[in-house]
Amino acid sequence: MYSRKKWQILFNISILQLLGIFFFAKGFFPYKTSLSGLSTVNELPPLPNGEKTLLEPKFDRLVFMLIDALRSDFVFGKNSGMKFVQSLIAERHAIPYTSIATAPTVTLPRIKALTTGTVPNFLDAILNIAESDTSSSLANQDNWLIQLKNVGNKSISFFGDDTWIKLFPGLFHETDGTTSFFATDTIEVDLNVTRNVIPQLSKPGWDVLIFHYLGLDHVGHSSGPYSHLMVPKQHEMDEVVKIIYETILEQDKKRIRENPNVKPTLFVLCGDHGMNEAGNHGGSSIGEMSTAFVFMSSIFDSMKQVPETFSIPFDEHLMSFYKVINQVDFVPTISYLFGIPIPKNNLGNLLLDLMIDIDALEKLRALQLNAYQLSGILQTLWPSFDRNPNATSVMNCDFNDDQAQLQCLYSMAHYYHAKSLEVNEFDDTSYINNALLFYNKFITDSGLRLGSSFSDYDITSMFIGLFFMILSVFNYITIMLDTYVQWNKRFGNQDESKGQRSHLEFLSIIGVIAFCITLFASSYIEEEHQFWYYWTQTMLIYSFILSFRLKNRALLIKQAYTFMCQMVLVRLIRAWNQTGQKFAGTIDLKFYLNTSYIKLMWTLYFVTSFALTLITLREIHKLFINNKSRRNSVLSFILQRFTQLIVIIISISVTKYKLEIDGGVELFPKLFESISFIIWTTQIVTLARLIYVLLIVSLVLCQFGIIVKNRFEKGSEIRNFPKIILCLITYLFILLSRPHNIPLYGLYFIQFYLFLYCNDDNFLLTPLSCNFFLISFEFLSFFSLGNSNSLSSIDISHSYTGINEYNVILVGLTTFLGNWSGPIWWCFAGVILRKEILMRWKLTKETNNDDNTREVDDKGSDIIIQENNIVKSLSSLNIIFFLDYLIYTSLFHSIVLFILSVGVMILRNHLFIWTVFSPKYLYQIIWNILFHFGIELILIGIFEVLSIY
């Protein structure tokens, strides 16, 4: 009855917390409001003197080549493989820029920025993963593609990342889409685009061609920006650029020769975002935000002036080459160059460097259109904003607030523009210069002001979410205190180390409080891994000190040695992957394993895999041992051998998969050939699915073995099955991990067995301190695998393991398992550790309560009888202790979520709200919903309730 009541309370509190997450996220992550409808030519303003002019396009054809993750140094750097593009720039036949992409630096929001000129919603970073999502469509939002089709009467064809097809349904004349999440495919994904280049360019009458290449991004995800595959991929892209450029150059010469009124073709090469030193993206580091932008055309071959962009000095450390612009600046620029209205929601500045062979008055007209479009957004923010000022507006200028300042800048630009039309520009250029100055100042300041005001929080919904969260926290605290009291009644006073245990409990509570305090600082959130590294070491050091208070010298040495080994292991694990923001590019063990010591990396993989196989085979052997009956010996022997054979096949299959996917075939060709004789399948997807099936079959066989054993040996406790599950899920995580991270699972196993070894005589750990230790190791393992609180650390390189087409559930599941493999591993290991601690506490209590001293024979049969008597009471306590574990972990996650929500609420106008706090909040939602509720509560709970553990 007591456990059933706890279940009901936990269920009710969980509902409160889920409601809190829903309402707070709904208020914190709303869709950004945008102006509806499309800009039209009729809405364009006349000149300040009242004269109406038509938009004259400077180009009539466009090739837009977007290379995913094209970081600026990949094109402009000294080690770039794009030599043809560099030669065009050196000869002044192309105009280069370094473009800054704002966070989140993932494809979908970047495409939105490149086509609409808006600051995308942070929620688009989530929708970027959900390829089947249609709610982010731009079919009803103003953008230059729709304007080219409607106003310019252009035919648009697209080839590449199918995100474009989902964003612009029904817009393209021809399409050939590719899926963006097969991150291990670096060849076919680009060949499928390149095969369309020459045929499309050869077609008569084409207008707009868009090519989106994914291979370079996939190289980054697979092996980083300095991979041996990176420069060849850049060279491949450079060859495509050369083909396109030379083709359109010849076509333009022929077209202009046949018809002098024809306009030339514009060729744009750009990236949607960059990548960090690990090859990922999504955050706000320099590498992720810096992208290349190159404009090429036959008209640039006869430039009369040198654009300003060429005079800017390089800064390779900051990845700053030539002139630095904002990514959204492309939208008003491309609109003006093609004579179409600027999209209504654009926040970009028109690039005057591209205004070749036009006079100063025409540049003023271009800036006027840009300023007028921005003033339309300002008018929705401030209805009194005057879009058509007169001389009186200039006389009444003041700078009391943002609206007044922007109104004054706009009025002054309008005034000087009107004056410049009244005089000859050769007689007096001061009006023109003043007009250019005020237009540029107004456009820049307006973009910054509107970019910061586009976040429309639903404060009411956020407060409702906080209300539900604080209710769940208070309820968790109440039930936790009751649980703590109940535990002390059962075991609290059974030995002399009670005071030492309380020290660790106090340190655990201080750890939770300290962690919550760090959630209010952006730097601590970026470097959260440092907290868990140092606090875990602090707990271990304190346990090491407490071990010297033990009176038993042998026990003192044993525990001191154990905690010392744990500290060494934590330090080694910490050095494996540098993560966070500040030291993300620092050289770590992963760097050496992927460069100078690749064979050592694979040797460590083989050692880890071999050791794991031996442990698994041993635990299976223990599972099928029957000490009471020989009647089932043949059946048990057959099940044991067959299950062990399947485990060996799993180990070999995983090795074959890793060698083929992660580039080990070239290093170990004979080994791969030998494995191929055993595992015949040559299809990667089929091999991964075979591994999944064999893992399930081995679990079923082990469960069948438990049923057989219980039939002939009733009342026996199956203590090996949880270890078998731990071993089998390790094979799964190896399958979903990068090869340099696989030895970490071997280190986790050493830590795990040290805990078991220490637990034989260690009563320092209570449920509170034990659970905080496990939580610390879960977070430590999460960061040690290279993860962080930035979206850029999400590893999608193995998201399609065993999947040959996009499925949001399956891809999402493999992505979650791959990135949270460390915490999930420790979650399963924690089940075993808690049961061992329970066993020791229970055995000690039974021994202390036995007043009769008994003699034990040489075979220890009396101990076996004693343990069998305890098994029944242990099984009845399993559910209670599992619920106690859930209460402690639920309280931790609920407190962290609540404190973080309060911090986000208070700091919602902070400079780093979208680059630091928002990603952290997304991660925390995953920790609470997928990890805590999905893994700790549901998955582990099912095993506990069904008495599998």
pLDDT digit string, tens, across residues 763-805 = 567 778 888 889 999 999 999 998 998 887 888 888 888 888 7
The Cα-based distances of 176 to 66, 145, 162 in angstroms read 15, 17, 8
CA atoms of 377 and 381, how far apart (whole Å): 7
Picking from 484, 519, 540, the residue whose alpha carbon sits closest to that of residue 755 is 540
- What single-letter amino acid sits at 538? T
Element (H, E) at 300: none
Per-residue confidence (pLDDT) for residue 2, from 0 to 100: 52
Cis amide leading into 30 (omega within 30): no
The Cα-based distances of 310 to 287, 323, 797 in angstroms read 22, 7, 38
Helix (H, G, I), strand (E, B) or coil at 302: helix
Are 573 and 779 spatial neighbours (Cβ–Cβ below 8 Å)? Answer: no
Buried b (16+ CB within 10 A) or exposed e, 482-492: ebbeebeeebe
Picking from 203, 229, 205, the residue whose alpha carbon sits closest to that of residue 218 is 229
Are 705 and 624 spatial neighbours (Cβ–Cβ below 8 Å)? Answer: yes
Residue with tokens 């191929």: 676
Element (H, E) at 419: helix 402-422
Per-residue confidence (pLDDT) for residue 141, from 0 to 100: 85
Tokens of 804: 């040959």
Are 543 and 563 spatial neighbours (Cβ–Cβ below 8 Å)? Answer: yes
CA atoms of 920 and 928, how far apart (whole Å): 12
Per-residue confidence (pLDDT) for residue 286, from 0 to 100: 86
User: Which is it for strands 61-67 and 265-270: parallel, antiparallel or unpaired?
Assistant: parallel
Are 132 and 359 spatial neighbours (Cβ–Cβ below 8 Å)? Answer: no
Residue with tokens 């309730």: 945
- Please write the tens of the pLDDT for every residue from 844-862: 555 455 444 444 444 444 4
Picking from 760, 756, 759, 768, the residue whose alpha carbon sits closest to that of residue 501 is 768
CA atoms of 312 and 323, how far apart (whole Å): 6
Picking from 131, 37, 342, the residue whose alpha carbon sits closest to that of residue 800 is 131
Are 466 and 24 spatial neighbours (Cβ–Cβ below 8 Å)? Answer: yes
Helix (H, G, I), strand (E, B) or coil at 512: helix
SS3 content of the chain, % helix, strand, coil (to 5): 65, 5, 30
Phi, psi angles (nearest 5°) of residue 323: -80, 140
Tokens of 226: 């300095």
Q: Please, where are the H alpha helices in 575-597? A: 589-594
Per-residue confidence (pLDDT) for residue 923, from 0 to 100: 93
Q: Please, where are the H alpha helices in 850-939? A: 861-906, 918-926
CA atoms of 174 and 435, how far apart (whole Å): 44
Q: How many CB atoms lie under 10 A from the CB of residue 306?
A: 11
Buried b (16+ CB within 10 A) or exposed e, 558-597: bbbebbebbbebbeebbebbbbbbeebeeebbbbebbeee
Residue with tokens 């999930």: 824
* Angle CA 920–732–179, to nearest 5: 65
Phi-psi region of 915 (alpha: psi -120 to 50; beta: other; left: phi over 0): alpha
CA atoms of 397 and 414, how far apart (whole Å): 13
The Cα-based distances of 531 to 511, 512, 536, 745 in angstroms read 9, 11, 8, 22
Q: Which CATH number is correct for 60-357, 3.10.290.10, 3.40.630.30, 3.50.50.60, 3.40.720.10?
A: 3.40.720.10
Per-residue confidence (pLDDT) for residue 305, from 0 to 100: 56
Helix (H, G, I), strand (E, B) or coil at 800: coil
Are 103 and 86 spatial neighbours (Cβ–Cβ below 8 Å)? Answer: no
Size of the chain in residues:
949
Question: What is the chain's Cα-based Rg?
Answer: 33
**Does the global pTM surpass 0.85?**
no
- What single-letter amino acid sits at 374? L
Any idea where the domains of the chain sit in the sequence?
60-357, 373-445
CA atoms of 110 and 769, how far apart (whole Å): 45
Q: How many CB atoms lie under 10 A from the CB of residue 847?
A: 11
**Non-local CB neighbours of 929 within 8 Å, separated by 6+ positions:** 18, 21
Please list the rounded mean pLDDT of every run of 10 residues in the chain (949 residues).
Answer: 69 90 87 74 84 85 94 90 91 89 84 86 61 61 90 89 86 82 74 92 91 90 84 93 93 88 92 86 84 89 62 74 90 92 90 80 88 88 82 65 83 85 67 87 86 71 93 89 75 55 83 93 90 92 83 80 92 90 78 88 95 94 68 74 94 93 87 88 89 93 79 60 90 94 95 78 69 91 91 82 83 91 93 74 52 42 45 58 82 94 87 82 94 90 60
